[in-house]
Structure 1
């Protein structure tokens, strides 16, 4: 068994959590007490087993009080992006059926703009309809509630292709709050995590991977170090400062660290790193190669989704022998299928499906759930790819991002991977825009490292760079420049927003 309650007894003074920038530290004993108080508050406000709460705030210690309080109360807990607007938060609150929301001053005016009747608590000073969480917790016991029962998260997709959809999975069959947790077992076996690990989390806690992996590490009794906000040099400094052994990243983190000046990149001692995991978005081959050359063979990649229907994993050595792969299955069986849902031979491109006992559904969206399942009962995350003869999976792109230009199918990921490897490019997105002759034309939207260089000369330089690797049909017909792309803090790109701009859908929003 593994749970914060176990380590609160065996290692009460050990840090369960450290905020990287401020150094604020919460011991296992303190996290146990604080989460118990939250559980008592939830019960006192009528929240019963199976109910739902929402959490919408920046990375801070109280986030863990709330999720562990909900976990031990048998609740579903929804983590909402703190960057959303009031209508977007209202949508998720209504869709999830949340009966309470916990926020902070980080939301600013959004706090008072929410149009919801659910109970509202703020970890900062009360305002309007928002009650003080600190005041509400006053006098609540630090001992467990009488009816403890294991709860679980209910997380929403990033909304990169439409409105986000909640993935609601049943409460764990084992009601024991310290019962077997599959992700914790995976963290220990596949990612070499132990009670002695010191884990760095550089991403927002409202996203699936950071939240789930932080909690999994705490179930093992490790110390979790959370960055308040990602900064490339600060991340390197924290690895040295806290002697980080395990960490998790997204490719944009790698890109930004690699583009630091050489004297900055070599300034910090990274020798404590045993495992650096990355996921969430495709990683260009040159970026991954550069990271392995820099950090050594400690880098592990996995491909999975909030839906939990399967997972592939690949270590540095296997990746170097199969460059571009996202690995072989660790959970589930991978099938590449044609439009009819039938499996295709190796090296044939198609939709990526997982055959797995793990079932999921999109909350309040039976059509999307049905569309994600083929006639064999296999499920997909919406990605396209292929497998080689050894069973290694390679992702091509998301099906919804495919460009059809003059009848030719073009996947943007290949072009984006090339662009971001150019030394003058910080970020890039490739989309299809309307074209009278071709139906769609390829447009590259580029974020330069130095915006003052944006213009025709840089566009010509990028075209010349791309011509070395791309056929004419894949070449961008247009290159535009932006100071910043609409990228989710977890690394996922809101490509739909860019595409809607070029197609004249100006009412598009990030949801």
Structure 2
């Protein structure tokens, strides 16, 4: 821009500050420093105390030689130190790399090396991984957190976290980043083939997604947020920063368990929590006695390929208000929401549940979500039939993949982030996912959405969790195979499950085989379909060659 609006109107320190979510905790401490911020067993800390501990962490890391742009890895459950790291590390200008606590040692070592971690803050429960990391990377500063009874109190070669903080400055003078585009976090994808990709977040995106969470949820001041969602997963969908912005309460949860969740909801007055469909299903299907005494409204956010309509209906039945969001690691967790319309209230339960299960529209502060042909980049018609690839664009998109320019260019080509998810656009402008490209089943030339079959299976009263994958077939090429996990105390046979599906699906979409047992899941509750495909010998992965093939 040029002309009169630029003359003498320079960007100055007085009228421009780079956006950083660290500012949320600074304001919470200034305005609501006396209010409760963190609950973890007997630990109860205010926002003033939590801010001081984050400042001490930044100071201690700096004294240990960690500087701006250095990677600080953390391998922690949802405990207070994990929340403190989400502020203390970026206060310093370092990059926070939260590691999945369920990963095997080889994967963790790869991430530490690839991310060039300068420090590792690790719970003593993971002592074996800590020692392997120390042997492999002796230059890494090892800091141990003792939080679990029965775990080692200290780790050889590590400094204790509390001692590390005690000697540091509780008034550390942190500054906003020089540039909002600077990296704030590094999150590794859990790919099923090859090495994981390191997704790099910037300050601007973290700040805006944290605020979008508030807007999409109409989150009031001082919510009581229960950490059922792992903080290592997309930085807890940015909710560590969101809760600070609202000066709420972080109710920590070291390990998910339905009874513990209901106990905490009662005891702490939990108002909000997030979780994958499998987490929601576990709570919805828990014995009614566990929910006794919970009279207030609990708001929950669910993300996944598509929550089963039966789960949505059950959450409504037990009085939990559910918001459905959609996203990926590359878009900071959720970046689309199924925005509720008042007109849906007049619909019957089945129709309303189906509308609620859609992936929806863009987050307030995301520039766009679209369904497009991945080659021509043309948007598909809003006919709910034409299949394309779901894409995002805007500030809530990653900087790119660390040290992987080729993958970055491929993912961000054409001015959009390509999710790899197949979907359609509805007449009212909502995105509906059909499947991952590799999960579409092609049987005798007909395309079958595994999600559609799964939705039918979830309507069986004995089904707790389900996954449908392609099974090789000598006549049809491949047919649906259902893997079913039954609810405790329930029984069903293959014949019963197939008969149930025949009532709801065309014959060619009905599973030809049903296998029972516990489903393999990631630490965030996502079902690992690649293991199930391997179990039936399926190896094909399709591409999106024809946007008009039947859904």
TM-score by structure 2 length?
0.81
Q: Quick one: which of 141, 146, 153 aligns to 1:119?
A: 141
- Quote the residue 1:229 is aligned against: 255
Contact 1:405 1:441 survives alignment (8 Å): yes
Counterpart check, 1:48 vs 2:71? no
- Quote the residue 1:344 is aligned against: 380
Contact 1:26 1:61 survives alignment (8 Å): no
Counterpart check, 1:29 vs 2:29? no
**How far does the alpha carbon of each residue in 1:359-409 deviate from its partner, in whole angstroms, 9 at most, with x for none?**
53122333332332343x122221111111110111111112222333332
- Quote the residue 1:332 is aligned against: 367
Give distance in 2, aligned partners of 1:16 and 1:365: 38
Contact 1:334 1:353 survives alignment (8 Å): yes
Higher mean C-alpha displacement, 132-141 vs 340-349: 132-141
Q: Would the alpha carbon gap of residues 353 and 77 (structure 1) be closer, same or farther in structure 2, given more than 3 Å must change? A: same
1:288 Cα offset (Å): 0.9
1:323 Cα offset (Å): 4.5
Q: Would the alpha carbon gap of residues 358 and 251 (structure 1) be closer, same or farther in structure 2, given more than 3 Å must change? A: closer
- Quote the residue 1:509 is aligned against: none
Contact 2:36 2:47 survives alignment (8 Å): yes
Q: Would the alpha carbon gap of residues 290 and 316 (structure 1) be closer, same or farther in structure 2, given more than 3 Å must change? A: farther
- Quote the residue 1:286 is aligned against: 310
1:492 Cα offset (Å): 1.7
Higher mean C-alpha displacement, 225-234 vs 149-158: 149-158
RMSD of the TM alignment (CA)? 2.7
Q: Would the alpha carbon gap of residues 95 and 463 (structure 1) be closer, same or farther in structure 2, given more than 3 Å must change? A: same
Q: Would the alpha carbon gap of residues 370 and 270 (structure 1) be closer, same or farther in structure 2, given more than 3 Å must change? A: farther
- Quote the residue 2:526 is aligned against: 492
Contact 2:226 2:270 survives alignment (8 Å): yes
* Local SS of the residue matching 2:201: coil
How many residues end up aligned between the 2 structures?
489
Give distance in 2, aligned partners of 1:89 and 1:209: 17
Give distance in 2, aligned partners of 1:231 and 1:39: 33
Give distance in 2, aligned partners of 1:350 and 1:431: 20
- Quote the residue 2:212 is aligned against: 186
- Quote the residue 1:133 is aligned against: 161
Contact 2:424 2:431 survives alignment (8 Å): yes
Counterpart check, 1:302 vs 2:305? no
1:488 Cα offset (Å): 1.9
- Quote the residue 1:176 is aligned against: none
- Quote the residue 1:508 is aligned against: none
1:152 Cα offset (Å): 2.0
* Local SS of the residue matching 2:307: coil
Give distance in 1, aligned partners of 2:297 and 2:481: 43
Q: Where do 1:170-209 residues align within 5 Å? A: 170-172=202-204, 181-208=207-234
Give distance in 2, aligned partners of 1:146 and 1:419: 53
Counterpart check, 1:481 vs 2:516? yes
Q: Which runs of 5+ in 1 are unaligned?
A: 174-179, 506-511
Give distance in 1, aligned partners of 2:392 and 2:224: 32
Q: Would the alpha carbon gap of residues 397 and 162 (structure 1) be closer, same or farther in structure 2, given more than 3 Å must change? A: farther
Q: Quick one: which of 452, 463, 479 aligns to 1:441?
A: 479
